[in-house]
Amino acid sequence: MSQKVKQNHDTCEIFCYDEEKVKRVTTVVEAENLAPVASIFKALSDETRLKIAYSLLQEGELCVCDVANIIGSTMATVSHHLRHLRNLGIAKSRKEGKLVFYSLDDEHVRMLVETAVVHGREVEKS
């Protein structure tokens, strides 16, 4: 009876590294404050907040009532998530009379959400 040896393609078989490359990249990584970036990804990793961001991407600007109806949630839940997105600089708001309208904060956020959705479609196909 022959045994199949499972090969691990996730790790190197030996430990060695390119000292110059590691030093160069370590310097760049350590110089960059990635905490705000992690906060953005953490916020968008919540499916409800991602649905909200994607809805705002589609229409440009929506009031809290519209978003609640689009994603099938309560206004309280949507308000909570929108406030979180606003506090992280992902969304911005403006008040008009008794309504509060939200939109994505800038082009970078729009591109991030759009790129993530496109990538998700590609991953789903493969």
Check residue 99 and give its pLDDT: 95
Check residue 79 and give its pLDDT: 96
Q: What is the pTM of this model?
A: 0.82
Largest pairwise CA distance in the chain: 78
Q: In the predicted model, is pLDDT for residue 11 greater than 70? A: yes
When pLDDT is cut at 50, 70 and 90, the band that residue 5 belongs to is: low
For the segment(s) 19-125, the CATH number from 1.10.10.10, 2.120.10.30, 3.40.630.30, 3.40.50.10470 is: 1.10.10.10
Average pLDDT over the chain reads 92
Q: Per-domain residue ranges for the chain?
A: 19-125
Say which residues have a Cβ less than 8 Å from residue 50's Cβ, sequence separation at least 6: 44, 113, 116
Write the DSSP assignment of 81-94 as a string of letters: HHHHHHHTTSEEEE
43-96: pLDDT as tens digits: 999 999 999 999 999 999 999 999 999 999 999 999 999 999 999 999 999 999
